[in-house]
């Protein structure tokens, strides 16, 4: 009640709509974070109901209220370093890890944050369907989009995609050519965008993440559905465009990692470099290649991509 008296906000109960049963609490409180009093999103769900997305849904509602109604400039969430579930909720809320603090209670406390500017950069799709703003593949299929209009869904949120420029498409074409030539007569397939990838595939179409990487390599024939990829591709390639933001790329990095993508390539046409990430669970190793290098493909033994011919397309 002290938070309500002093700041006008505090914790709310989390109630299951279908049965009106209280399963936890979530809300905004002022907390001492590294010596400064800051607004923090807290969420506590009864263990019986964890793992069902309730904490994520409640935390998003608190975030939206804080930015849309209260106009707070920045929000935090913090948790013990071993609390992976809470950290994932923060990441799904658009937050980034900003600090790791030593303290007597938790040993190490992880601090996540998001600014109102970062929040505003998250473009929401205004569609004529209502489901509390949490979109699924079933919703995505039903949208009536205009020509050249494209969206991706990541953890239930929809993001508008701008049309790629000519340099982007020329680089994409050259990359696909090299992959396709190598894969001729082999079991793996390469798919350029637009190609729907349902990273966390559910047969009932309740999965809430649908992305369109620039290039997807899929080796498991069971994942190759008529509508796109059903699960994580073996390799994903993204070519950066001027419209790509750091928070967007971090969001995709985490989605690909969590879904089980083995290898993730990020091509930067402006600086003419390639960064390769090899995932193994929560861990990864990375390596950077320059304009004239030949980059080996770990998931396709024997293939190296000649970057000189790829980046040459960025200046034609």
Task: List, edge to edge, every strand of the sheet that includes 96-103.
Answer: 11-16, 21-33, 36-45, 74-80, 107-115, 96-103
H helical segments located in the chain: 2-7, 54-68, 84-92, 116-120, 137-142, 166-183, 246-259, 307-312
Three-state DSSP class for residue 251: helix
Token readout for 285 is 């190793």
Helices (H) and strands (E) in the chain, counts: 8, 19
Please tell me the pTM assigned to this model.
0.62
Residue 221's pLDDT is 97
Rounded to an integer, what is the distance from CA 126 to the centroid of its chain?
A: 19
H helical segments located in 93-155: 116-120, 137-142
Residue 162's pLDDT is 78
Could you tell me the domains of the chain? 2-120 (3.40.630.30), 162-315 (3.90.1570.10)
Could you state, in chain order, the average pLDDT of each consecutive group of 10 residues for the chain (316 residues)? 81 81 93 92 90 84 88 94 90 91 85 89 46 78 81 85 87 97 97 96 95 97 97 97 71 93 94 94 92 96 97 79
CA distance 229 to 200: 10
């Amino acid at each position: 009640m002290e938070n309500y008296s002093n700041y006008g906000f505090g914790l709310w109960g989390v109630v299951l709509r279908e049965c009106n049963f209280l399963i936890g609490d979530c809300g905004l409180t002022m907390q001492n974070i590294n010596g400064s009093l800051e607004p923090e999103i807290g969420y506590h769900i009864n263990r019986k109901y964890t793992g069902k997305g309730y904490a994520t849904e409640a935390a998003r509602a608190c975030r939206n209220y804080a930015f849309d109604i209260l106009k707070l400039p920045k929000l935090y969430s913090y948790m013990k370093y071993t609390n992976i579930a809470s950290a994932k909720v923060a990441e799904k809320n658009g937050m980034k890890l900003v600090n790791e603090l030593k303290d007597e209670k938790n040993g190490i406390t992880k601090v996540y944050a998001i600014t109102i500017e970062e929040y505003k950069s998250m473009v929401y799709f205004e569609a004529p369907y209502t489901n509390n703003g949490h979109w699924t593949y079933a919703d995505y299929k039903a949208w009536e989009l205009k020509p050249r209009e494209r969206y991706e869904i990541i953890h239930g949120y929809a993001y508008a995609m701008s049309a790629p420029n000519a340099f982007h498409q020329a680089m994409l074409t050259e990359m696909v050519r090299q992959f396709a030539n190598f894969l001729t007569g082999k079991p793996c397939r390469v798919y350029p965008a637009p190609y729907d990838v349902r990273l966390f595939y559910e047969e009932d179409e309740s999965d809430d993440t649908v992305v369109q990487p620039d290039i997807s390599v899929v080796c498991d024939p069971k994942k190759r559905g008529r509508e796109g990829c059903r699960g994580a591709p073996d390799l994903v390639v993204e070519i950066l465009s001027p419209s790509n933001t750091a928070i967007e790329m971090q969001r995709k990095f985490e989605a690909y990692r969590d879904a089980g993508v083995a290898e993730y390539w990020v091509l930067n046409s402006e600086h003419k470099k390639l960064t390769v990430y090899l995932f193994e669970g929560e861990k990864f190793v990375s390596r950077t290649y320059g304009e004239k290098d030949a980059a080996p493909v770990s998931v396709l033994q024997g293939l190296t991509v000649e970057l000189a011919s790829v980046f040459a397309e960025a200046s034609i």
